[in-house]
Amino acid sequence: MKKNIILAGVGGQGILSIAATIGMAAISGNINIKQSEVHGMSQRGGDVQSHLRLSDKPIASDVIPKGKADIIISVEPMEALRYLPYLSKDGWLITNSKPYNNIADYPEVEELMADIKKIKNHIIIDAEEIAKSIKSRRSSNIVMLGAASPFLDLSMELLEEGLKQIFGRKGEEVVNVNIEALRLGRKFTEENM
Amino acid sequence: MQKLLLLGDEAIAQGALDGGMSGIYAYPGTPSTEITEYVQKNKYAKENNIHSDWSANEKTAMESALGMSYAGKRAMVCMKHVGLNVAADAFMNSAITGVNGGLVITVADDPSMHSSQNEQDSRFYAKFAMIPVLEPSNQQEAYEMAYTAFELSEKFNVPVMIRITTRLAHSRSGVTVNSQKAENKMVLPEDRQQFVLLPSIAKVQYRKLINVQPKLEEASEKSKYNKYIDSENKKLGVIACGLGYNYLLENFEESEIPFPVVKVSQYPIPRKFVEKIITECDEILVLEDGYPVVEDDLRGFMHNKKIKGRLSGAIPRDGELNPNIVAKAVGLADTYGTDSPNSLKGRPPQMCKGCGHIDVYEALNEVVAEIGEGRVFSDIGCYTLGALAPFKAINTCVDMGASITMAKGAADAGLIPAIAMIGDSTFTHSGMTGLLDAVMENTPITVIISDNSTTGMTGGQKSHAENRIFDICKGLGVHPDHLRTVVPLKKNHEEMVAIMKEEFAYNGLSVIVPVRECVQTASQKARAKVATKKL
């Protein structure tokens, strides 16, 4: 098994929780993992990304080569487009639909959606809406992870185990609401593929 | 033997702890900050009183580490690449004194300048100081190198550099750890003159350093971190340093590499390996993540034409290496997705919503608009973002502390008033001596010390300046009538404007200290308080 995953968003949107969950799932499943992140300047409301690589063989590069990402998971629609040079021909683009507009020249949402739809394999999901429906706005990240889960080659058991490890110390209720968020995200993708 | 998921930085910290380190000294600097933070949070380190407090700057950190080495114990000092410029005096001379307890200098370089003013390559410094460098190609190697570096230092009586770059420092992978080594006991140097660099003694010490060089070369040749991987095809030979080797492996995954390779992860360069590959192959490609240090050495003054790399154009002259660059350079097909569409815009970093620096800039811009632009000398921190729209408030940012001293120089040239904008942690790092210069001549500059009581840009580490700025300024001799303070908030905008106008007009040195806690550290503290209440 081999998966190259790019996580994208804006500094402060919490893509690293998604990375941590996948990371824990991989460790639990004895899968090799490399996860790179961005520190320093980019955190201040700038674009941020994380490269996550899973494999049953040893992994060399920490960064994913251009053209070799299997999936881009983005919590922000404009950020989804930033890493297209990395996405492989049949790669999947999973993006949240809600814009984070903190720049003067943010494009029209219609233009963004049109550009996203040009990618052969894409899923556009309103993660906030789904998170709101289970009264857990903060879990919109995990909804995104759920939406991407059919393409990750990781079982739901492993991902849920990952959630237990990450959120366990916050109590059973928090773990359970995140597991629900994960399942609802996956359901959305399965119904809209 | 359990596996830990560690950043390259964390692997070095864990390796050093397991390797018997007694103290770590550092000033925050991306991408090195996480090394010291790991030790600060580590249970074993706390239980065993391993020193890990932040230093005022990289020079004091370097010297303190040297002091711990003098006392016989193992010490590490960490910094980003430009931090080595600050530590350089102590660094260079630590190679002349030699060590007592093992001394390791870990430097994290930043090719592509993700968060820095330049992409200088610390291997040059090590060559300059004539000390060994360990340059890991992955997280496991980083751990092993930190684990064994103190012994290497003690064996040859020289400080040892560990050199990493951003992509390894900030990437996580599984690491297998070794058993805990004991710390050294405190013991003074046998040769009581070793550390006294009077010329008569320094000459003797320097000759010792010169004489140990062949032994360092031999160590490189025998090192488990350097490899010669042979192949029948001799059309191309690749010398892969540090991460360069990692990216080479990325391109040849399971299949064997179809040309000879020298893996360089310990310097001095393993001479026999390099002589062999150059002799046997038609062309040589040098892969290095940073300056063309090795390529330049091998090319030499007479431009040995068969050595290819950054200088020859085989790979880009500047910026970091990546697997695509390496693929192209060795003749493989490059891979690429699709271009991003025009709807994609740049999203540069900004100051946080509610940041006190913003209020300072809004007042500053208003006053500067009246007296003429081009006179704001700034420094390194979150406030450097004031250079970008919508503020465009600052005109210089060069190195730590340069705001005050450049403002002074410009005022000496006649640019009056000149204004310096500096943060509190940068001020105690290297602003105090510049302020003293301005006090001595009563130079007509205004120094704005924008105090958010933290080292913000690197993630909110504790600042030496907390609750000390006024006393320091008074102690340095700033006139109390021209040492002003204000809370930078929208409601105090008029007050700030008035204070700035007064002090800019004053024909002497003045200091304005806007004080308001960083919104990030404030909210982190609030969240931590709530969390402990819940327990």
pLDDT digits (tens, 9 = 90+) for B196-219: 999 999 999 999 999 999 999 999
Classify residue B190 by its DSSP letter. Answer: S
What pLDDT does B303 receive?
78
The ranges assigned to domains in chain A are 2-192
CB contact under 8 A, A84 and B345: no
Residues A25-47 have a mean pLDDT of 82
Q: In chain B, whose CA is at the least distance from the CA of A23?
A: B5
CB contact under 8 A, A44 and B352: yes
Confidence of residue B254 (pLDDT cuts 50, 70, 90): low
- The structural architecture, per CATH, of the domain A2-192 is 3-Layer(aba) Sandwich (3.40)
List pLDDT tens digits, range B490-531. Answer: 999 999 999 999 999 999 999 999 999 999 999 888 988 887
CB atoms within 10 A of CB B114: 19
Q: What distance in Å separates the CA atoms of residue B250 and residue B196, rounded to the nearest whole number?
A: 49
Residues 6+ apart with CB under 8 A from B166: B30, B31, B108, B109, B110, B111, B112, B114, B320
Write down the mean pLDDT value for chain B: 96
Residues B256 and B217 in one domain: no
Which of A131, A141, A138 lies closest to A184, judged by CA?
Answer: A131
Residues B361 and B421 in one domain: yes
Q: Is A101 on the interface with B (CB under 8 A)?
A: no
Q: Is residue B535 scored above 70 in pLDDT? A: no
List pLDDT tens digits, range A136-172. Answer: 998 999 999 999 999 999 999 999 999 999 899 889 9
Residues B281-307 have a mean pLDDT of 93
Q: Is A44 on the interface with B (CB under 8 A)?
A: yes
Q: How far is CA B297 from CA A144, B204, B234, in A?
A: 50, 28, 22
Task: Please give, rounded to a whole number of angstroms, the shortest distance from the CA of B283 to a CA of chain A.
Answer: 25
Across-strand partners of A2? A55
Q: Is residue A42 scored above 60 in pLDDT? A: no
Residues B175-197 have a mean pLDDT of 96
Residues B139 and B260 in one domain: no
Task: Please give, rounded to a whole number of angstroms, the shortest distance from the CA of A176 to a CA of chain B.
Answer: 20
What pLDDT does A43 receive?
63
Q: Is residue A111 scored above 70 in pLDDT? A: yes
Residues B195 and B252 in one domain: no
Q: A141 with A14: CB under 8 angstroms?
A: yes
Q: In chain B, whose CA is at the least distance from the CA of A45?
A: B349
Residues B141 and B64 in one domain: yes
Nearest CB to B344 within list A43, A51, A78: A78
Q: B182 with A35: CB under 8 angstroms?
A: no
Residues A88-93 have a mean pLDDT of 96
What pLDDT does B144 receive?
98
Question: Given CA atoms B220, B226, B229, B233 in this order, what sign does their dihedral have?
Answer: negative
Q: What distance in Å separates the CA atoms of residue B496 and residue B278, rounded to the nearest whole number?
A: 66
Q: What distance in Å separates the CA atoms of residue B9 and residue A89, rounded to the nearest whole number?
A: 34
CB atoms within 10 A of CB B422: 29
Q: Which domain holds residue B216?
A: 3-222
The proportion of chain B whose per-residue pLDDT surpasses 70, expressed as a percent, equals 99
Classify residue B339 by its DSSP letter. Answer: P
3-state secondary structure of B5: strand
Residues B444-449 have a mean pLDDT of 98
Q: Is A113 on the interface with B (CB under 8 A)?
A: no
CB contact under 8 A, B170 and A105: no
Residues B493 and B374 in one domain: yes
What pLDDT does B2 receive?
60
Q: How far is CA A134 from CA A130, A138, A160, A174, A177, in A?
A: 7, 11, 17, 12, 7
Across-strand partners of B455? B461
Residues B362 and B466 in one domain: yes
Nearest CB to B349 within list A27, A46, A107: A46
CB contact under 8 A, A61 and B323: yes
Task: Please give, rounded to a whole number of angstroms, the shortest distance from the CA of B292 to a CA of chain A.
Answer: 21
Candidates A41, A93, A105, A112, partner chain B, best to mutate (most B CBs within 10 A): A41
What pLDDT does B1 receive?
52
Residues B239 and B370 in one domain: no
3-state secondary structure of B217: helix
CB atoms within 10 A of CB B509: 27
**The one-letter amino acid at B399:** D
Residues B217 and B232 in one domain: no
What pLDDT does B349 receive?
85
Q: Which of B189, B222, B255 is the last residue of a domain?
A: B222
The proportion of chain B whose per-residue pLDDT surpasses 90, expressed as a percent, equals 93
CB contact under 8 A, B246 and A34: no
Q: What distance in Å separates the CA atoms of residue B355 and residue B91, rounded to the nearest whole number?
A: 37
List pLDDT tens digits, range B371-410. Answer: 999 999 999 999 999 999 899 999 999 999 999 999 999 9
Q: A147 with A94: CB under 8 angstroms?
A: yes
CB contact under 8 A, A43 and B349: yes
Residues B336-363 have a mean pLDDT of 94
List pLDDT tens digits, range B76-115. Answer: 999 999 999 999 999 999 999 999 999 999 999 999 999 9
Q: Is residue A38 scored above 90 in pLDDT? A: no
Residues B58 and B199 in one domain: yes
What pLDDT does B336 receive?
96
| Within a domain: B8 | yes
Separation of CA A147 from chain center = 8
- CB contacts of B347 in chain A (<8 Å) are 10, 45-47, 78-79, 102-103
Residues B337-353 have a mean pLDDT of 93
Q: In chain B, whose CA is at the least distance from the CA of A118?
A: B341
Q: What distance in Å separates the CA atoms of residue A89 and residue A127, rounded to the nearest whole number?
A: 25
What pLDDT does B305 receive?
77
| Within a domain: B526 | no
Long-range pairs for B497-500 at CB < 8 Å and ≥24 separation? B497/B363, B497/B366, B497/B367, B500/B363, B500/B364, B500/B367, B500/B446
| Within a domain: B485 | yes
Q: Residues of A numbered 2-31 whose beta carbons fall under 8 angstroms of chain B's beta carbons: which are they?
A: 10-11, 23, 27
The least confident of A40-44, B473-477, B487-491 is A40-44
Q: A63 with A38: CB under 8 angstroms?
A: no
Q: A6 with A64: CB under 8 angstroms?
A: yes
CATH of the domain at B131: 3.40.50.970
Residues B25-35 have a mean pLDDT of 97
Residues B393 and B463 in one domain: yes
- CB contacts of B341 in chain A (<8 Å) are 81, 84, 115, 118
User: The tokens 């409601």 sit on which residue?
Assistant: B491
Confidence of residue A12 (pLDDT cuts 50, 70, 90): confident
List pLDDT tens digits, range B354-370. Answer: 999 999 999 999 999 99
Q: Is A47 on the interface with B (CB under 8 A)?
A: yes
- CB contacts of B335 in chain A (<8 Å) are 65-68, 88
CB contact under 8 A, B250 and A65: yes
CB contact under 8 A, B174 and A78: no
What pLDDT does B529 receive?
87
Q: Which of B276, B294, B329 is the last residue of a domain?
A: B329
Question: Given CA atoms A74, A57, B138, B263 in this order, what sign does their dihedral have?
Answer: negative
Q: Is residue A41 scored above 90 in pLDDT? A: no
- CB contacts of A61 in chain B (<8 Å) are 246-247, 249-250, 322-323
What pLDDT does B255 receive?
65
Q: Give the pTM.
A: 0.95
Question: Given CA atoms A64, A69, A71, A74 in this order, what sign does their dihedral have?
Answer: positive
Q: Is residue B451 scored above 90 in pLDDT? A: yes
Q: Is residue B124 scored above 90 in pLDDT? A: yes
| Within a domain: B350 | no
Q: What distance in Å separates the CA atoms of residue B298 and residue B282, rounded to the nearest whole number?
A: 14
Residues B55 and B180 in one domain: yes
Domain count of the fold of chain B: 3
- CB contacts of A67 in chain B (<8 Å) are 324, 334-337
Write down the mean pLDDT value for chain A: 93
